[in-house]
Amino acid sequence: MALQAMLRRIGTLRLPNYRGQTLTRRTLIPAPRSNSGPLMERRADRELPAVNTDRRWMRTLPIFAVVVGAAMLGIFNYQKSSSSVAMRYILLKKYRGSVVK
């Protein structure tokens, strides 16, 4: 009795004429509405909700590019000024400049 209730709950139907064979009975479930609350189960046959097609991200793309570019310039400028090769070049340039004078 409990097995039959469980099989009915998961959507599996046993046919009396076919031993051991089962048929799955799944119905399409409509897409969730905006105020329907959280989805409690994940199903592959659920309809997909409508896609929002506004292009709000295009307004923020230039800001993102400027921020990433400034960060790259800041990082590479810091690496250039703090590397041992750059310091050696600066010291050598200062040393040669003082000798020439």
Summarize pLDDT for 49-83 with one digit per residue, the tens: 777 778 888 889 999 999 999 999 988 877 666 66
Domain count, the chain: 1
Span 78-94, pLDDT tens digits: 766 666 676 677 777 77
Q: Tell me the pTM.
A: 0.35
19 part of a folded domain: no
91 part of a folded domain: yes
- Structure tokens that stand for 34 in this block: 């905006």
Alpha carbon distance 59, 88 (integer Å): 45
Domain that holds residue 78: 58-99
| Residue 93 pLDDT | 76
| Residue 61 pLDDT | 93
Alpha carbon distance 10, 21 (integer Å): 16
32: Cβ–Cβ under 8 A, 6 or more apart, which residues? 39, 46, 49
